[in-house]
Amino acid sequence: MSMPVRTEAGAEVRSPLAAEIERRRTFAIISHPDAGKTTLTEKLLLFGGAIQLAGQVKAKRNRKTTQSDWMAIEKERGISVVTSVMTFEYGDHVFNLLDTPGHEDFSEDTYRTLTAVDSAVMVIDAAKGIEARTRKLFEVCRMRDIPILTFINKMDRETRDPFDLLDEIEKTLALDTTPVNWPVGRGRDFTGTIEVQSGGVRLLEGDAGKAGTLREMSILEVAALNPSLDASAIEGEFELVREACKPFDLQAFREGHLSPVFFGSALKNFGVGDLLDALGRFAPPPRDQKADKRVVHAEEPRMSAFVFKIQANMDPNHRDRIAFARLCSGKLTRGMKVKQIRTGKSIALNAPQFFFAKDRSVADEAYAGDVVGIPNHGSVRIGDTLTEGEDLNFVGVPSFAPEILRRVRLPDAMKAKKLKEALQQLAEEGVVQVFRPHDGSPALVGVVGPLQLDVLRVRLMDEYGLEVSWDVSEFTLARWISSDDPKTFDTFVRSNSSSVADDLDGDPVFLARNQFNLDYTRERAPGIAFADIKDVK
């Protein structure tokens, strides 16, 4: 870690590097489709001045289930590239908002993106409470103890009881809650919010004003603004909130045990300012990152980063790609040379990019916590660690065992070599996993959701001129295999050669026909570990 500088009087002065890093907030929004992620993203960007008008964040269409919608947005790849990460400044902070695909078929991408954030905002629809996908994404955050802020959205519509919603979060997610503000009225009667700590009131006025100025008003005065409100009931409810709810505890939040809760309406831009202020005040600056050899501290002067996402570039005729790298420590300057640990090669970062809502620009410098795009022609892969020379690998960018396996059928056998190359490239991009059986039979592709197969087929056609279809495979499950004892491992691989394949990195997987076949094999091979998640090195 960089040494703290002290003045003569002994006060600690942060180094300029530490100060830059400390003001970074890198986060994602997790939610079930339709809870309001896109609307909230847009309003956050409006605050940050990254966009001028609402309606510019189009990434939401990614979630629509039909193939044609997905393909249409893929054609507008420019938009999906730039919305992968959105950087904006607000107050004293630099925010990096990492987008996660809405559709669950692309959940692997989402899980990887969550390895690159320091906190998350969980958006909940006030009428629906915790929904399936929210819970799943929350669990991924919990695995990494990512602190969560909760935004209960759509308070301008009919909602469930706010106490009920808090109770549901506490019970179903085992997460303590502290309401930061409390709604006055709901649905048509939603009039504003009261800050629990200060008692300050924000009113929903006209088009909701920007953030809604904080006013000193009594509950009676607020209630008088709306004849349908029952002032004494509101007073009673607020008393209860003050008595019953836990006080905010920064440490519990930072450790992922407690979530500050905001009630608001993204559509009406209400509560969004409070949320953004809280992200600045409470959410952690760039965290320490675990590497294989040691823990890397964000404020170390030497730059290090890992790649968590690859996106093909806009022009399908060139195999240009953008690798999204999260900086873990130090400072990146344009033109610097970094070592790619997997290959040992040196890469010059001549045109690292920053992303805003609709634009990107060349980054002259970036700091730990930031996400930069590194244009490349396929040399950089998901999971790659980049450093200024030190040999270490960040751990924890996962690969998930596919849920669907298919054999690729290629009518034109002359194009087999081209198919091999194409699959290799698309697998490096994280579009699909490819498994090459040891017995020489045709490669299998593996995906998490069926929509990924559609995307793969169309991209093989559009970008490589390859017309393929899928054959159902005799295998339905894949598990990464390993053993502490090389001999046991060799014997296993040899005696199961028709069911063993190598993944993209040459790591062996066992292919099982079904769960029974997997369990049966596992029982008979005690020295072999079967894993459904692999840490990408």
The response to whether 383 counts as a known ligand-binding position is: no
Q: Which of 99, 104, 101 is nearest to 117 (CA)?
A: 99
154/331 with CB nearer ligand G4P: 154
Cβ-in-10-Å burial (0-12, 13-18, 19+) of 195 comes to: middle
* DSSP strand pairing (176-179 vs 181-184): unpaired
Least distance from C-beta 319 to ligand G4P, angstroms?
31
Q: Which window, 150-158, 369-377, 405-413, 510-518, contacts ligand G4P (CB under 6 A)?
A: 150-158
Cβ(432)–Cβ(456) below 8 Å: yes
**23 forms part of the interface with ligand G4P (CB under 6 A):** no
The response to whether 37 counts as a known ligand-binding position is: yes
Q: Cα-flanking dihedrals φ and ψ of residue 305, to 5°?
A: -160, 160
Tell me the C-alpha distance between 185 and 96, whole Å.
33
**36 forms part of the interface with ligand G4P (CB under 6 A):** yes
The response to whether 376 counts as a known ligand-binding position is: no
Least distance from C-beta 267 to ligand G4P, angstroms?
3
Q: Which window, 104-112, 153-161, 212-220, 455-463, contacts ligand G4P (CB under 6 A)?
A: 153-161
Least distance from C-beta 198 to ligand G4P, angstroms?
24
The response to whether 102 counts as a known ligand-binding position is: yes
- Applying CB under 6 A, among 22, 23, 28, 31 the residue interacting with ligand G4P is 31
Q: What is the CA radius of gyration of the chain?
A: 25
154/339 with CB nearer ligand G4P: 154
Tell me how crowded residue 358 is: count the other CB atoms within 10 A of its CB.
17
267/460 with CB nearer ligand G4P: 267
Tell me how crowded residue 84 is: count the other CB atoms within 10 A of its CB.
21
Strand order across the 433-437 sheet: 469-472, 404-409, 444-447, 433-437, 500-502, 508-512, 477-482, 529-531
153/178 with CB nearer ligand G4P: 153
| Structure tokens that stand for 128 in this block | 């629906």
How many residues in the shown chain lie near ligand G4P by CB under 6 A? Answer: 17
86/372 with CB nearer ligand G4P: 86
142 residue type, one letter: R
**110 forms part of the interface with ligand G4P (CB under 6 A):** no
Least distance from C-beta 274 to ligand G4P, angstroms?
14
278/298 with CB nearer ligand G4P: 278
Task: List the interface residues with ligand G4P, window 87-106 (CB under 6 A).
Answer: 102
188/246 with CB nearer ligand G4P: 188
**Whole-number Cα distances in Å, 524 to 492, 515, 527:** 10, 14, 9
- Applying CB under 6 A, among 23, 25, 60, 459 the residue interacting with ligand G4P is 60
Q: Which window, 149-157, 215-223, 278-286, 460-468, contacts ligand G4P (CB under 6 A)?
A: 149-157
The response to whether 33 counts as a known ligand-binding position is: yes
204/234 with CB nearer ligand G4P: 204
The response to whether 83 counts as a known ligand-binding position is: no
Task: List the interface residues with ligand G4P, window 227-286 (CB under 6 A).
Answer: 265-267
Least distance from C-beta 105 to ligand G4P, angstroms?
15
108/156 with CB nearer ligand G4P: 156
Least distance from C-beta 350 to ligand G4P, angstroms?
35
Which stretches of 2-115 are DSSP H helices?
16-22, 37-47, 67-75, 77-82, 107-114
CA dihedral sign of residues 244, 245, 247, 251 = positive
130/536 with CB nearer ligand G4P: 130
Burial 131-149 (b: 16+ CB within 10 A, else e): eebbeebbebbeeeebbbb
The response to whether 490 counts as a known ligand-binding position is: no
Residue 129 parent element (H or E): none
Our separate counts of H helices and E strands in the chain read: 15, 34
Tell me the C-alpha distance between 182 and 194, whole Å.
5
57/223 with CB nearer ligand G4P: 57
**33 forms part of the interface with ligand G4P (CB under 6 A):** yes
Q: Which of 303, 479, 305 is nearest to 400 (CA)?
A: 479
Task: List the interface residues with ligand G4P, window 173-192 (CB under 6 A).
Answer: none
Binding mask 399-438 for ligand G4P (x = CB under 6 A): ----------------------------------------
The response to whether 35 counts as a known ligand-binding position is: yes
Tell me the C-alpha distance between 529 and 387, whole Å.
31
CB neighbours of 457 closer than 8 A, spacing ≥ 6? 468, 469, 470
- Applying CB under 6 A, among 2, 14, 15, 34 the residue interacting with ligand G4P is 34
The response to whether 31 counts as a known ligand-binding position is: yes
Cβ(79)–Cβ(121) below 8 Å: no
- Applying CB under 6 A, among 87, 153, 159, 393 the residue interacting with ligand G4P is 153
* DSSP strand pairing (404-409 vs 85-90): unpaired
- Applying CB under 6 A, among 25, 37, 93, 186 the residue interacting with ligand G4P is 37
The annotated binding site for GTP is made up of: 31-38, 99-103, 153-156
Which residues of this chain interact with ligand G4P, rule CB under 6 A? Answer: 31, 33-39, 60, 102, 153-154, 156-157, 265-267
